[in-house]
Structure 1
Amino acid sequence: MQNICSEESLSQLLQSNPAVLLLYGGANCGVCQAIKPQLGKLCKEEFPGVVTAYIDCQESAGPLCAARGIFSLPVVQLWFEGQRFAEFARVFSIGDVRAALERPYGMLN
């Protein structure tokens, strides 16, 4: 999972990859740190074409998170072809993310 700290690098990531999973989290967020490896494993094993990225809202990417309207953690966004497809905030399961990925990911291949 790559780290993103600026709007420029986020925009480039979203434009250059057909499928992206973004995790907005924080170093002091226990839930964020617990789901980060689970989301990475999910994408690596079941959706290998999905690029994963982590944005730390409690550190250097704070302004980016505020500009994107992220005010609670964790938040997972799924992007396909540069468009936000789904967003999960605060209370969700890895199964919810898996279910949201299945159909659009299948259409990419």
Structure 2
Amino acid sequence: MANALRISPSFHPLKWRKPSDFSSGFFRQCSHISISEIKTTYSVRNHLICLDRIRANITKTPDSSLDDDIDTPVSIELEPIVSEGQFDRIIAEAQQLEEAVIFVWMAGWCRKCIYLKPKLEKLAVDYYPRIRFYSIDVNRVPQRLVSRAGITKMPTIQLWRDGKKEAEVIGGHKAWLVVNDVRQMIENEF
């Protein structure tokens, strides 16, 4: 079963038909299924799916290759900050390297924060390695750090450069709007 693939039943089933019935696309390539290949197929509600034939049906666009997309991450996990010393160290490193840093201030109890975090992790890929993204749980860091950053609402996304806060987005609305606002904040600063 190493070559098996589970798919939803909405895929078209492979049925034993005359080769003339396999006129296009996936079915044309699967018209040559042999008995040995049937052993490497997986049956999902009476649908035969052959991995080797599915791989053969993947197409490349002229301007890109499939190998280029393999190395690109889909998202970058936001590194958590758990102390004021760590926060100061990150600010100092960014200042020394003349980079900007994004801090996502959130809380474990905040539903909007929980929903927004994976979307910001996907956004971080677009700006990696120019801008580093960090998450800070306000319940796990000292209150003086939260006050120092001027955090009043959750979630708050701040852009820091040269040791000071340059811009912020308070994310009390839909996640896709917050992501667009953060993208615009970053683009305006650069």
- Tell me the TM-score normalised to structure 2 length: 0.50
Residue in 2 aligned with 1:61?
141
Residue type matched to 2:168 in 1? Answer: E
Unmatched tracts of structure 1, length 5 or more: none
Residue in 2 aligned with 1:3?
80
Higher mean C-alpha displacement, 67-76 vs 18-27: 67-76
Taking structure 1 as reference, are residues 102 and 69 closer, same or farther at Cα in structure 2, changes over 3 Å only? closer
Sequence identity (%): 27
Residue in 2 aligned with 1:81?
162
Give the superposition deviation at 1:71: 2.6
Q: Whole-Å Cα distance in 1 between the matches of residues 85 and 170 of structure 2?
A: 23
Residue in 1 aligned with 2:92?
15
Give the superposition deviation at 1:87: 0.8
Taking structure 1 as reference, are residues 19 and 36 closer, same or farther at Cα in structure 2, changes over 3 Å only? same
Residue 109 of structure 2 aligns to a residue whose secondary structure is coil
Residue in 1 aligned with 2:33?
none
Residue in 1 aligned with 2:36?
none
Residue 108 of structure 2 aligns to a residue whose secondary structure is coil
1:35 to 2:112 alignment: no
List per-residue Cα deviations over 1:10-65 (Å, max 9, x = no partner).
11111212111101101110101111111121121x2112111111012x215221
Residue type matched to 2:90 in 1? Answer: L
Residue in 2 aligned with 1:24?
105
Higher gyration radius (CA)? 2
Q: Whole-Å Cα distance in 1 between the matches of residues 86 and 164 of structure 2?
A: 16
Aligned-residue RMSD, C-alpha: 1.7
Taking structure 1 as reference, are residues 79 and 67 closer, same or farther at Cα in structure 2, changes over 3 Å only? closer
More strand by share: 1
Residue 85 of structure 1 aligns to a residue whose secondary structure is strand
Which structure carries more relative contact order (alpha carbon 8 Å, separation 6+)? 1
